[in-house]
Amino acid sequence: MSARDHTDMEVRAHSGHHASLRLWLRLLSATTGIEDTIRQRLREQFGITLPRFDLMAQLEREPQGLSMGELSRRMMVTGGNVTTIVDQLEREQLVQRQPQPGDRRAFAVHLTPAGRVAFAAMASAHETWVVELLAPLNPGQQEQLHQLLGTLKYSQAPVGNSSDTAPPGDTMSQRYLPGQPHQLPRHNTAMADYQPEHFLLSVTGGVATVSLNRPERKNPLSFDSYAELRDFFRALPYAPDVHAVVITGAGGNFCSGGDVHEIIGPLTKLDMPGLLAFTRMTGDLVKAMRACPQPIIAAIDGVCAGAGAILAMASDMRLGTERSKTYFLFNKVGLAGCDMGACALLPRIIGQGRASELLFTGRGLGALEAERWGFYNRVCEADSVLADAQTLAAQLANGPTFANGMTKKMLQQEWNMGVDEAIEAEAQAQAICMATNDFHRAYHAFVAKQTPVFEGD
């Protein structure tokens, strides 16, 4: 098969096909042919790939630098692919990572001075090649084609997108479905600017990191922090900027549970209605964690006890450290193990017998045993557990987030179903996902031999 056979999509068409299909295949053939020529010339003359050139072009437009997440969005590739490209360019001293002000865990990528010089030469050559490749069309024809393609391009924009430009790199015909839930009144509650009083919050690249921040007492919970965490997780279904959550603790510990002086002492003075109001509030926090569509990853170091163990249990995944230890210690303080859903959720994670042992005895669960039992997804180094959790969360945030939310919902609800009911529920859930734009994006990307870039709709 010749090189032309690989790029000439028109070989698939015949006179019986609709004119729109024949036009589409001709457009695809022309653009693919031009792109292949540019790829080859970049490789031969500059020893660089087109994706690396594209990434440098994005950085050249933004002297202040771009985050890895923003580069991933603009280039329509996964975060892992962007990391690989940046690593290659950094080894060649063409780009550099610099910590973001106020967040040492986040980086902005910049062109180095050498990178700017190299890109200027490549960009000049690139422009010359494009002029040459489009030379068969005279200037009037080029302007006419530009206007016609502009009409086509903007007609594919999502409903409600009032900007004059489509998302960077968006050259694919997509099926945008009617109805945009995030445009419903009061449906948008961005979390990036939210400043909680009783924990720390940062939102970067679609990942919200919740940090319990009372390290001098191993991050205990108070009445106020319970309520604020509950309200935070209740708001997440309406947060368009959060696609995954990491919950952790400051100062080498996860959470020591309810504060002895601020919760346990006052509880001994409450009447039955007051006690029930408290236990229902704590249970509502777990309900909110299980109900929010975003996957939650717990990054656990040091002490993880009582209500802290419940927060870990209520998360979707748990990463621990070798020095971490988990205690469901309600039995140790004269209470039943049935607290905040422990008797329902813990057996689902580690099994009935093992859950019974922990809830009846209150003994500590070490890290290696927690991993072997399935409570921990994996054990990490203490100095990297948070970064590892955030990396995993970023991977989920860059995935099909609507579908991820559906998966979480089904994992939660199917425990209350028989097998036949669960299969029917999954049939309906999957049919809904097949109607999303992300499903169509994945199909178009597969056909074009590209990596899909999901947008969560």
Rounded distance, CA 454 to CA 288, Å? 25
pLDDT digits (tens, 9 = 90+) for 93-117: 999 988 876 655 567 899 999 999 9
Rounded distance, CA 445 to CA 437, Å? 12
Cβ neighbours of residue 245 closer than 8 Å, sequence gap 6 or more: 207, 208, 209, 210, 236, 292, 294, 295, 296, 297, 393
Flag whether 205 is in a domain: yes
Rounded distance, CA 418 to CA 52, Å? 51
Kindly state whether residues 33 and 125 are assigned to the same domain.
yes
* Stronger pLDDT, 182 or 423, i.e. the higher one: 423
Rounded distance, CA 375 to CA 151, Å? 54
Q: Judge whether residue 435 has pLDDT over 80.
A: yes
From the CA atom positions of the chain, what is the Rg in Å?
A: 27
100 has which bridge partners?
Answer: 103
Kindly state whether residues 204 and 89 are assigned to the same domain.
no
Flag whether 123 is in a domain: yes
The residue among 153, 177, 206 that closes a domain is 153
Location of structure tokens 């704590």: 282
320 has which bridge partners?
Answer: 300, 379
State which residues form the domain around 375.
189-397
Q: Judge whether residue 433 has pLDDT over 90.
A: yes
Q: Report helix angle 68-75 to 50-61, nearest 10.
A: 120
Kindly state whether residues 115 and 198 are assigned to the same domain.
no
pLDDT of residue 13: 58
pLDDT of residue 189: 76
First to last CA, the chain: 39
* Residues 257-275, mean pLDDT to the nearest whole number: 89
Flag whether 159 is in a domain: no
CATH assignment of the domain containing 309: 3.90.226.10
Flag whether 213 is in a domain: yes
Kindly state whether residues 124 and 220 are assigned to the same domain.
no
pLDDT of residue 187: 58
Q: Tell me the backbone φ, ψ of residue 199, rounded to 5 degrees.
A: -160, 165
Q: Judge whether residue 329 has pLDDT over 60.
A: yes
The residue among 138, 153, 168 that closes a domain is 153
Kindly state whether residues 121 and 263 are assigned to the same domain.
no
Nearest to 326 by CA among 313, 314, 339: 313
Q: Judge whether residue 169 has pLDDT over 50.
A: no
* Residues 77-83, mean pLDDT to the nearest whole number: 79
Flag whether 445 is in a domain: no
Kindly state whether residues 96 and 225 are assigned to the same domain.
no
180 — pLDDT class (breaks 50, 70, 90): very low
Location of structure tokens 């000439």: 8
* Residues 254-269, mean pLDDT to the nearest whole number: 89
3-state secondary structure the chain: CCHHHHHCHHHHCCCCCCHHHHHHHHHHHHHHHHHHHHHHHHHHHHCCCHHHHHHHHHHHHCCCCEEHHHHHHHHCCCHHHHHHHHHHHHHCCCEEEEEECCEEEEEEEEECHHHHHHHHHHHHHHHHHHHHHCCCCCHHHHHHHHHHHHHHHHHCCCCCCCCCCCCCCCCCCCCCCCCCHHHCCCCCCCCCCCCCCCCEEEEECCEEEEEECCHHHCCCECHHHHHHHHHHHHHHHHCCCCCEEEEEECCCCCECCECHHHHHHHHCCCCHHHHHHHHHHHHHHHHHHHHCCCCEEEEECCEEECHHHHHHHHCCEEEEECCCEEECHHHHHCCCCCCCCHHHHHHHHHCHHHHHHHHHHCCEEEHHHHHHHCCCCEEECCCCHHHHHHHHHHHHHCCCHHHHHHHHHHHHHHHHCCHHHHHHHHHHHHHHHHCCHHHHHHHHHHHCCCCCCCCCC
Q: Across all residues in the chain, what is the average pLDDT?
A: 87
In terms of pTM, does the model score above 0.85? no
318 has which bridge partners?
Answer: 298
pLDDT digits (tens, 9 = 90+) for 384-413: 999 999 999 999 999 999 999 999 999 999
pLDDT of residue 455: 87
10 — pLDDT class (breaks 50, 70, 90): low
Flag whether 179 is in a domain: no
Kindly state whether residues 27 and 112 are assigned to the same domain.
yes
- Pairing verdict, β 103-111 and 66-67: antiparallel
Nearest to 83 by CA among 416, 438, 387, 420: 387
Q: Over pLDDT 90: what percentage of the chain?
A: 62
Kindly state whether residues 300 and 393 are assigned to the same domain.
yes
Kindly state whether residues 226 and 375 are assigned to the same domain.
yes
Kindly state whether residues 195 and 318 are assigned to the same domain.
yes
Tokens of 152: 């086509």
pLDDT of residue 384: 95
Q: Are 50 and 42 in contact (CB under 8 A)?
A: yes
Distances (CA, A) of 429 to 244, 317, 401, 403, 409: 20, 22, 14, 9, 9
Number of folded domains that form the chain: 2
**Choice among 68-72, 165-169, 299-303 with the minimum mean pLDDT:** 165-169
Kindly state whether residues 257 and 320 are assigned to the same domain.
yes
CATH assignment of the domain containing 117: 1.10.10.10
pLDDT digits (tens, 9 = 90+) for 40-58: 999 999 999 999 999 999 9
Distance of CA 113 to the CA centre of its chain: 32
Flag whether 173 is in a domain: no
Kindly state whether residues 362 and 263 are assigned to the same domain.
yes
pLDDT digits (tens, 9 = 90+) for 305-326: 999 999 999 999 999 999 999 9
pLDDT digits (tens, 9 = 90+) for 347-393: 999 999 999 999 999 999 999 999 999 999 999 999 999 999 999 99
pLDDT of residue 162: 40
Flag whether 162 is in a domain: no
The residue among 348, 375, 397 that closes a domain is 397
Q: Report helix angle 307-314 to 272-291, nearest 10.
A: 30
Q: Over pLDDT 70: what percentage of the chain?
A: 88
